[in-house]
Amino acid sequence: TDQFQHHDYLNVDDLLTDEHKMARQAVRDWIKAEVSPIIDDAAMRGVCPTHLFKELAQIGAFGPSLPVEYGGGGMDEIAYGIIMQELERCDSGLRSMASVQGSLVMYPIFKYANEATKKKYLPKLGAGEFIGCFGLTEPNSGSDPGSMSTNIKDAGDHYVLNGAKMWITNSPVADVAVVWARDEDNKIRGMVVESGWEGFSAPEIKGKWSLRASITGELVFEDVKVPKENVFPDIKSLRGPLSCLSKARYGIAWGAIGAALDCYDSALRYSKERSQFGKPIAGFQLTQKKLAEMITEISKAQLLAWRLGTLANRGEATPAQISMGKRNNVMMALEVAREARQIHGGMGITSEYSVMRHMANLESVVTYEGTHDIHLLITGMDVTGENAFGG
Ligand code: TGC
Ligand code: FAD
């Protein structure tokens, strides 16, 4: 990653402002100095470098497009995307740390919590003093979060929370969790739950071959008392969590391009350096086909992300458009990573190169935040008006 060269075949940089480029450079410099030297070791050992949370805050990676007074960066949606791209050029797990904190924890608190709850949690989350997680998925409710069974019951001045969440990024190290649960009227409610409260536990999920530098766990609630002021007052449907997902999926549509760029860069350099049959493998038509298709697909993905960003800046990006971006760009990156791994031959399976780490990471990215097929069905429903999900 150290020797990465910027690839911009269609001069997309022309569409960016100086602020966007400065934000990207700040992340790039920080990653080169602080993360590139440790990321392979962290992934190999399967340990999340939690000391990076505070540093991610300092470089403005948490909620770049949220208002400054609520702990965000006060920038536009394209700056947010560019920052996610640069983080994921290093590692999807690093980008996950920022996506969850900014878009899935700070954003819902900013958007849905009462003023006192915002003041209580947002400054600490924005500064990386608190780590947050987002609990929507359950053991029996993944693609279909509307079937969740985690629930709250009214007990006077507080609610009592029971249930379990599964596959929760950051949960074992989190100070606070944004949790979605069903109330007694069968409505989906959101709330901020502190990890220190009685009845809360968050065991780690071990044995992942993917996102090894990101920590994932469960959330278990056994009669956890949640003060009423911590429950979002006005949001009473899946629209609440899904609106947060739209924000995070948009960031992932940009982020995946970063992983693809790193794989492409590594494959291009390797193909020029590695000779077989008396010439660089870059000189074989089959290698050129791989590289030419990679840069073509990366360029198309950049334009898709940039267009979504311009729409998002005007508040006009629809959830279905964002689904198209997430689905296309993540699968693009996964395919680029697989081809790049092939170009590296046997060397591609080692930690000398980042390609296999990206490839394994992207297997999670293609599944979380809505699987590849779920996003296809969202597009299908948008263009036909027919719902192919249930029944
Ligand atoms: P449906 O009836 O379609 O919708 C329920 C309500 O939500 C509204 N809505 C949205 N609002 C904002 N943004 C979106 N993207 C929205 N999608 C739907 C909708 O208008 C409706 O509103 P209202 O007011 O009428 O109530 O819901 P459904 O039950 O049929 O489900 C639809 C489906 C399948 C598309 C949805 O549930 C889905 O997207 N499933 C995938 C689940 C998912 O993405 N889970 C992600 C968990 S978090 C995660 O993976 C984090 S990893 C992070 C990291 O580490 O980086
Ligand atoms: P399932 O929903 O069981 O899907 C299994 C397969 O069936 C998939 O291929 C799917 O596409 C397919 N399928 C399902 N329904 C249909 C249908 N109607 N038509 C056609 N095919 C269908 N969740 C959180 O809430 N917070 C987090 O922080 C979080 N972080 C995660 C981190 C990691 C590393 C991973 C792997 C997951 C994380 N998730 C998180 C959960 C993630 O969002 C879910 O894994 C994802 O939504 C899919 O749910 P599932 O794994 O239960 O798969």
pLDDT tens figures, 98-151: 999 999 999 999 999 999 999 999 999 999 999 999 999 999 999 999 999 999
How far apart are the C-alpha atoms of 366 and 192, rounded to whole Å? 28
Q: What is the mean pLDDT of residues 187-213?
A: 98
Catalytic residue at 369?
yes
Distance 143 CA to ligand 1 centre (A): 9
Burial label for 216, CB within 10 Å (0-12, 13-18, 19+), is buried
pLDDT on residue 138: 98
Q: What is the mean pLDDT of residues 202-217?
A: 98
* pLDDT above 90 for 14: yes
Dump pLDDT digits (tens) for 59-97. 999 999 999 989 899 999 999 999 999 999 999 999 999
| CA nearest ligand 1 atom 56, residue | 96
* pLDDT above 90 for 3: no
pLDDT on residue 367: 98
* pLDDT above 90 for 321: yes
Whether residue 354 contacts residue 344, with contact meaning beta carbons closer than 8 Å, is answered with no
* Proportion of the chain above pLDDT 70, given as a percent: 99
Q: For ligand 1, is residue 246 a contact (CB within 6 Å)?
A: yes
Atom of ligand 2 nearest to the CA of 170: 28
Ligand closest to CA 111: 1
Q: Which of 204, 316, 369, 386 is catalytic?
A: 369
**Cα Rg of the chain, angstroms:** 21
pLDDT on residue 134: 98
Whether residue 1 contacts residue 67, with contact meaning beta carbons closer than 8 Å, is answered with no
Average pLDDT across the chain, whole number:
97
Distance 245 CA to ligand 1 centre (A): 7
Dump pLDDT digits (tens) for 335-349. 999 999 999 999 999
Q: What is the mean pLDDT of residues 308-319?
A: 98
| CA nearest ligand 1 atom 24, residue | 239
Q: How confident is the model at residue 390 (pLDDT cuts 50, 70, 90)?
A: confident
Ligand closest to CA 137: 2
- What residues contact 190, with CB distance under 8 A and at least 6 apart? 108, 112, 178, 179, 180, 231, 232, 235, 240, 241
Q: For ligand 1, is residue 389 a contact (CB within 6 Å)?
A: yes
Q: How confident is the model at residue 391 (pLDDT cuts 50, 70, 90)?
A: low
SS3 sequence, the chain? CCCCCCCCCCCHHHHCCHHHHHHHHHHHHHHHHHHHHHHHHHHHHCCCCCCHHHHHHHCCCCCCCCCHHHCCCCCCHHHHHHHHHHHHHHCHHHHHHHHHHHHHHHHHHHHHCCHHHHHHHHHHHHCCCCCEEEECCECCECCCHHHCCCEEEECCCEEEEEEEEEEEECHHHCCEEEEEEECCCCCEEEEEEECCCCCEECCECCCCCCCCCCCEEEEEEEEEEEEHHHECCCCCCCHHHHHHHHHHHHHHHHHHHHHHHHHHHHHHHHHHHCEECCEEHHHCHHHHHHHHHHHHHHHHHHHHHHHHHHHHHCCCCCHHHHHHHHHHHHHHHHHHHHHHHHHCHHHHHCCCCCHHHHHHHHHHHCCCCCCHHHHHHHHHHHHHCCCCCCC
Whether residue 72 contacts residue 106, with contact meaning beta carbons closer than 8 Å, is answered with yes
b/e 313-334 (16+ beta carbons within 10 angstroms → b): eeeebebebbbbbbbbbbbbbb
* pLDDT above 90 for 6: no
How far apart are the C-alpha atoms of 30 and 7, rounded to whole Å? 19
Q: How many CB atoms lie within 10 A of CB 246?
A: 22
* pLDDT above 60 for 2: no
Nearest to 255 by CA among 89, 379, 45, 383: 89
Q: How confident is the model at residue 1 (pLDDT cuts 50, 70, 90)?
A: very low
* pLDDT above 60 for 32: yes
Distance of CA 325 to the CA centre of its chain: 13
Distance 215 CA to ligand 2 centre (A): 17
pTM of the predicted structure, to 2 decimals: 0.97
Q: For ligand 1, is residue 237 a contact (CB within 6 Å)?
A: yes
Distance 297 CA to ligand 2 centre (A): 25
* pLDDT above 90 for 359: yes
Dump pLDDT digits (tens) for 216-273. 999 999 999 999 999 999 999 999 999 999 999 999 999 999 999 999 999 999 999 9
* Proportion of the chain above pLDDT 90, given as a percent: 97
